[in-house]
Chains A and B, each alone.
Chain A
């Protein structure tokens, strides 16, 4: 059915030692969105890895589509930001309808002065294709297609994998293993690690349709969500625009729907036609039916094996917290693993992956569960409350904050992290906050702050109107109120405002673009101590 995208097929290469045993420092299992992001992040930090994937292509069909601002910033750090902006569909506005009326709309990024928008919509396969290209270009990622893990053993010095390929089987000993093998993770199940949570009794139909520009003209580039619309009574519908004139529509079907019957193209066409109008021309690009759960592993680190993305935690699709959460896992883990491997940090630093990403997963699960409860009320009382909210929302602002068609992905603030250092003058961006972006000038040329943070791998000290002494392991970024050679000119004052920096103050930023600590002076001792703390020393 897909006509807008030609699936790449990657060449399989016979393993170097068929029948034998190979050793590798880092192995990533699962060459999907999260596994490839992790491999590229490690490579950017100089760490080589092997990626095993049982298939020989990128993701098929309609899966992750909404890439959130923080995820785009991570991809920008990895060198792919401009590709997402160029190809993806940028949107900031969401509009909610109840029956035949608009209930209200909202802007997810009301503030100017950020390089990336609230969201870019893009088919997951494009993201994966670009990640594959970027991984190969580093020369540090050994991508092994058609390579399936059939057994795993977790040992003190790493994980022992049995890999099966078309050219025979072999053993692979990984000193460090990143399990990115999805919601039905073979590694998680083989190791007998529980994955618990809540099942939702509902089904959703995904219909991706191709509508040429003329037919699509009444549909602006925004997220639209309907509760109980006339064209799909009693249930909800979600519409997103993607590149290539593809529109993704999610129809709520209810638990009793027959998934096979619902996938019948004639039936899907009728649903789509009822929504778009009988006269509108469209082609079906993709159809699938899904159910979902919200669940997670108790811990994501198991010795030298780490679980990332859907393998570690699963959420409902409302809020775009699955793919985004997974990419943010990779962002969190990879600089730590690189620091341990090059001897900068002790192994204990890796425990902070659990300390930081388990609460983030809980935040994603909580938000997506609440959205699901609003969209699919569990009883008559819950439905009455929901409909009351929706009826009031059109006229009365008090009701609008209760409308929940998905609380869209925002990065977790790592408030309780053991890596957080002092906050000498509490205000904006406390330790644990993802580093805010800001527009700057360098030699009169427009620049973005985040482009300067973490790209080279180490810590960054953001110093406003002060020149700190050189400190080992820390790159200083001078922030000037007026144009000055060697400094970034904070011409709009947004960097100072977003980091809460008065002249003479500094903020220490981690390699994954998070605030580690904030200081009222540039005295080196507390800054160096905060770096040590953020490295688990």
Chain B
């Protein structure tokens, strides 16, 4: 059974985050929610594995806690 990967995997997280917020810049609340919904549907389909999706859903709902690992040492903030 596949598991959700929770290690950092995006090479330039700031670039992606900036693109994400930029996409929302001039949208009203309803349009913003729809954008996020489409994004999740697209990514969910890409993932494909339903067990992985359910695991992500649990984490997002706050019903699954992680094992608090030591923090990463990336040079940031």
Contact = CB atoms under 8 A, between A and B. Distances in A.
A96 B77 CA distance: 8
Interface string B11-22: 001100110110
B24 A401 contact: no
Contacts of A96: 77
Interface stretch (A2-10, A371-379, A473-481): A371-379
A121 to B, nearest CB: 16
Interface residues of A, number: 40
Given A373-B18, A381-B21, A106 B32 contact: no
Contacts of A118: 75
Contact of A380 (B13, B29, B66, B76): B29
A268 to B, nearest CB: 26
A405 B66 contact: no
A398 interface: yes
A407 B77 contact: yes
Given A105-B71, A108-B75, A382 B21 contact: yes
Contacts of A391: 62
B17 to A, nearest CB: 5
Interface in B7-54: 7-10, 13-14, 17-18, 20-21, 24-25, 27, 29, 32, 35-36
A400 B18 contact: no
Contacts of B62: 391
Interface in A244-283: none
Contact of A406 (B8, B65, B77): B77
Interface in A401-446: 401-408, 410
Contacts, number: 97
Contact of B14 (A385, A392, A404): A404
Contacts of A374: 17
B77 A396 contact: no
B76 A106 contact: yes
B21 A404 contact: no
A395 interface: yes
A106 B5 CA distance: 21
Contact of A381 (B32, B65, B66, B69): B32
A104 B71 CA distance: 6
Contacts of B9: 398
Contacts of A106: 71-77
Interface centre among A94, A105, A400, A401 (most CB of B within 10 A): A401
B48 to A, nearest CB: 19
B77 A225 contact: yes
Given A373-B21, A378-B21, A381-B27, A400 B14 contact: no
Given A370-B14, A381-B27, A397 B8 contact: yes
Interface of B: 5-10, 13-14, 17-18, 20-21, 24-25, 27, 29, 32, 35-36, 59, 62, 65-69, 71-77
Instruction: Give 9 closest A-B pairs by Cβ, nearest first.
Output: A395-B66, A381-B24, A381-B32, A401-B13, A405-B77, A110-B73, A104-B71, A382-B21, A401-B8
